[in-house]
Structure 1
Amino acid sequence: DQRILDAWWRREIAEAELRRRLRFDREWGYQWEPFYALLCTARDHAEGLYALDCMPREDLRRIRARDRHAAAKISEIRERHPEAAIFVLFGESHLAPQHLPRTTKELLPEESTLTVLQNVDALYWRAVAQHATAVSIGKDAVCVFNSSPLEKYESYRLCLDGWNAAADSIPDFAPAIYNLVFSLSRSLGFRLDSPRNGTQPKYLTDLLPEVVALDEYPHNPDSQLEEKSCAYLADANLFVIKEFQMAEAAEECSRFLYSACRGMVRLPVSAQPIEDALARFGSRLLCPESEVKDRTPTLGDSLYETYLAGKISLPALRRVFLSRLGTREKTLEILADLQYLARS
């Protein structure tokens, strides 16, 4: 593939031909756009672009042979570019300390190397607790985070679904939405099969909403999807998905859970600030990286930060979700309690 990359580097072939000749869709099947953006960035700013991997890629028993091949190529690149910083993008399995890092160090013992891992599940909550986007795991390795474990695996599941589905089929978002609902419920200590609506939502699994893609929805969901990627329509107990974005989907799942906890009754207008706060809290709980940017923190953001600091208990949060609104006075009382919790 190096000669194909070289031809593209010299601008002798265009994007479409590069994609076809690399057999990208046949052999990889991931989204092309971010991959191509990375290649363009390299062509605009780097001294060279090199392919490192070798066949067979499907057999993990050959992983050490592929490590040795990649390390040898890196050594050649160092000879060609003695003063350059070398950025190596390689599969996660190869980045274990005993694989490519060790093999490269054996060939280039004088070189300073840094291994950058991404979204390692075991380190995720450590990063969240430290409000960090990266954590050190030794003098020569760090782990950076741009998604939660749930988002990572849902993204991979959707990718697998895309591989298995026909090219013109509509993606099935229901498993992703249900996983979010279950994850949020378990995080808050709600059971999925409680027979009564008191300290638990009643038979939550029986209340799960229908989930449809926007193309499948025969009605106009008003203006709810003009600025959002998805919407939970409480009156119909329906999710309409325009585009699956984890943080927004988690927010809408929180709205569903609040509705289920209240017995699926219509939300009074005066209670909208409560729902908005719980929705934002649920989104931050499932997707902590979706922090506030360029805007004032909401009540839901404050609630999440207070919870993260250990100042709000799960029973207190469950009571808010389960509170019966009744009169306007009761609704305002619950809102005041929520604001007090956020300031605790």
Structure 2
Amino acid sequence: MFDESVWLFDLPPSDKRTPPLMSRLRQELIQIQKKNYWKNVRLVRDSLEYNPAVETYEKEYFDFLKDYQGISTKTDLIKKVSGADLVFHGDYHTLRQSQRCVLRILREIQGKREVILCLEMFYGMDQRYINAFMDGELSEGVFIQKIDYRKKWPFSWQNWSPIIYFCQDHGIPIIGINSDPGEGIGGIRDRDQYAAKVISKTLLKNPGKLIYVIDGDFHVSPNHLPKEVEQLLILLDIQTRSVIIYQNAENLFWKMCEQGIEESDVIRISENSFCVMNTMPANKIQSYLNWLEYSEDAYYPVHGEWAEDGSEGRGLSVQDIASDLASILKLDLYPQVLEQLNVYYANNLDFMDLIHDMPAVKGKIRLIKEKMKSGEGFLLEYEQEGKEAYLIYLPNSNLNMAAEEATHFVNAVCRGRLTADLSLFDRFYWNVITECLGFFGSKFINEKRKAHSENSLRRLLGQMKKDEYQKADSMIPQVARFILQHYALQRQTDNAKDFYQKFEPQYRNRSILPFVFSTQLGYMLGNKLYYAVKKGRFPLTKIRSYFRDPFEEAGKAFSCYLEISHRLKEMKHITQF
């Protein structure tokens, strides 16, 4: 991955023009995305030295990625991959969604083809250690030490380990294709040539198997690594069926916005090449900024990845996100309120001591500890010196989480602090609405954020039944079943008593299960609500009323949940890779 990719794009002109058919809201959303993207681009430029070799290599990449043929689908992509001899999958190394995309495809083709995975993250010289680790002869810690992982690949091991362990569990061999970097453009091409030799040998030794190559975005351009492999195979009179998978090309995303198809998650570049869109351009660059902030600890991060003093330092701040959301939704935040918000991160070691002294968290310590343990963020509302005060905890630099908690903050300011003692039933649906709004708001920052649908939950349960998620939390299938049962009951009745009778054990459960159950219900509703609002099928006036309503009256949150659900019943789930 050459993250200096931002060099090639010109900064945006001052007179931004938008097609007249765009709705006002959609136009505002795209302008926010562009603003956030260019802000991050400038920050990256300020952090990097100009590199002419990378600029040359990058320009060659964009010569092949100027346009697309049209919308495609995950099904078409998987079909092409399943029928290929070689797959070149581009990766943006600091973006977790980039690695998750690889894992999703491997799961889809599991059992359909025998696969060998070729990874840039491992050096060819370390193949004996790779084999020993995959055979279970080396522990993870020893393996990482033997291959000098931190020096050779300074990116998060946690992002890659699910792929590696999936391969280990399913007997998929892993081959290292990287080599020591040389100087200038020649050094980059030398690495491609070395990788091409390893890939070609692997293909020749394993006829009929799918050779799946994961390399940096720029490397998978047809005139780079694929061309080097093709030239070697031509010498042996061997022809192959190759597929190229790009990810999150921002120049293509802005074109998709112009054509009104930015919700699509797969586009076709040519007959045998695709681009997967699984995050927004600003989020992609933000992942690199976060990595730059703590690159020394990137391979095993042990603390929050934003600045210690409570301001993010790079990229978007929680306060920025809150202001953007309030502006686009036409919700008033009084000027001083942002000063009443404190943001804490995992590296604030005195955080637990701080909240123990807050009367507002009395009775919530156990839930707070559970959320911290599971790597979740949260908002606390309390009174300080006679004024309203707010605290957001973020365990890491996840932009989705920051946007969700920023939305919770806007919601809390608009509705005021909750004072009523809610019943367990009302508390459950109060949380559903709160999480619905939180997810809804986070989609304004990252429209590609994913939520489950009924069908995806059914698939998940089927996969878990086949032991495809051996290390998954046992609560996941429980909650998935409860959600499906809840949806089934929604189609039969609106009577609150029927819901209470059906789910009373879950409402009363003293573990975190009711919280997870209600959160996921809220996420699924918030996802649909976002697209309904964006498409003009749900009025913003209603959204504003939800943000301002404390939902303290008995049964009101439940009624609101059913009202929104019924209004969105015809909204199709937007599938995302």
How has the CA–CA distance of structure 1 residues 96 and 267 changed in structure 2, closer, same or farther, with 3 Å as cutoff?
farther
Q: Which amino acid aligns with 1:266?
A: R
1:32 CA drift (Å): 2.0
1:202 aligns with 2:338: no
1:257 CA drift (Å): 1.9
Q: Which one of 84, 87, 92 corresponds to residue 217 of structure 2? A: 92
In structure 2, distance between residues paired with 1:238 and 1:54: 47
Q: How does 1:1-344 map to 2 (within 5 A)?
A: 1-10=123-132, 11=135, 13-42=138-167, 45=170, 48-56=173-181, 59=184, 62-108=187-233, 110-123=239-252, 126=256, 132-164=264-296, 170-171=303-304, 173=306, 174-175=311-312, 179-183=317-321, 185-186=323-324, 189-190=327-328, 200-203=332-335, 206-207=338-339, 209-214=341-346, 215-217=349-351, 218=353, 219-220=355-356, 221=361, 222=364, 223-225=366-368, 226-227=370-371, 229-235=376-382, 236-243=389-396, 245-261=398-414, 265-267=416-418, 269=420, 272=430, 275-287=434-446, 288-293=448-453, 294=457, 295=483, 296=487, 298=522, 299-312=525-538, 316=541, 319-320=544-545, 323=548, 339=563, 343=567
In structure 2, distance between residues paired with 1:326 and 1:9: 58
1:312 CA drift (Å): 3.9
1:254 CA drift (Å): 0.5
In structure 2, distance between residues paired with 1:47 and 1:248: 33
Matched residue SS, 2:294: helix
Q: Which amino acid aligns with 2:350?
A: E
In structure 1, distance between residues paired with 2:159 and 2:564: 44
1:160 CA drift (Å): 2.2
1:94 CA drift (Å): 0.8
User: Please, what TM-score do these two structures have when normalized by structure 1?
Assistant: 0.75
CA offset digits 1:38-78 (Å, max 9, x no partner) = 34444555675332223326745632332233223322222
- Tell me, which stretches of 5 or more residues in structure 2 are unaligned? 1-122, 383-388, 458-482, 488-520, 569-577
Q: Which amino acid aligns with 1:254?
A: T
How has the CA–CA distance of structure 1 residues 36 and 178 changed in structure 2, closer, same or farther, with 3 Å as cutoff?
closer
In structure 2, distance between residues paired with 1:165 and 1:8: 23
- Tell me, which stretches of 5 or more residues in structure 1 are unaligned? 192-197
Whether the 8 Å contact between 1:67 and 1:100 is mirrored in structure 2 is: yes
1:83 CA drift (Å): 2.3
Whether the 8 Å contact between 2:440 and 2:526 is mirrored in structure 1 is: yes
In structure 1, distance between residues paired with 2:331 and 2:210: 58
Whether the 8 Å contact between 2:124 and 2:179 is mirrored in structure 1 is: no
CA offset digits 1:233-289 (Å, max 9, x no partner) = 122311123455544433221011223456xx4245589465443223113333433
Q: Which amino acid aligns with 1:301?
A: N
User: Which of the pair is proportionally richer in strand?
Assistant: 2
Q: Which moved more, 1:107-116 or 1:158-167?
A: 158-167
How many residues of Structure 1 are paired with residues of Structure 2 in the alignment?
332
Whether the 8 Å contact between 1:278 and 1:300 is mirrored in structure 2 is: yes
In structure 2, distance between residues paired with 1:39 and 1:267: 46
In structure 2, distance between residues paired with 1:338 and 1:185: 30
Matched residue SS, 2:270: coil
How has the CA–CA distance of structure 1 residues 46 and 106 changed in structure 2, closer, same or farther, with 3 Å as cutoff?
farther
How has the CA–CA distance of structure 1 residues 321 and 59 changed in structure 2, closer, same or farther, with 3 Å as cutoff?
farther
In structure 1, distance between residues paired with 2:295 and 2:551: 51
How has the CA–CA distance of structure 1 residues 187 and 241 changed in structure 2, closer, same or farther, with 3 Å as cutoff?
closer
How has the CA–CA distance of structure 1 residues 153 and 234 changed in structure 2, closer, same or farther, with 3 Å as cutoff?
farther
In structure 1, distance between residues paired with 2:207 and 2:564: 60
How has the CA–CA distance of structure 1 residues 310 and 122 changed in structure 2, closer, same or farther, with 3 Å as cutoff?
farther
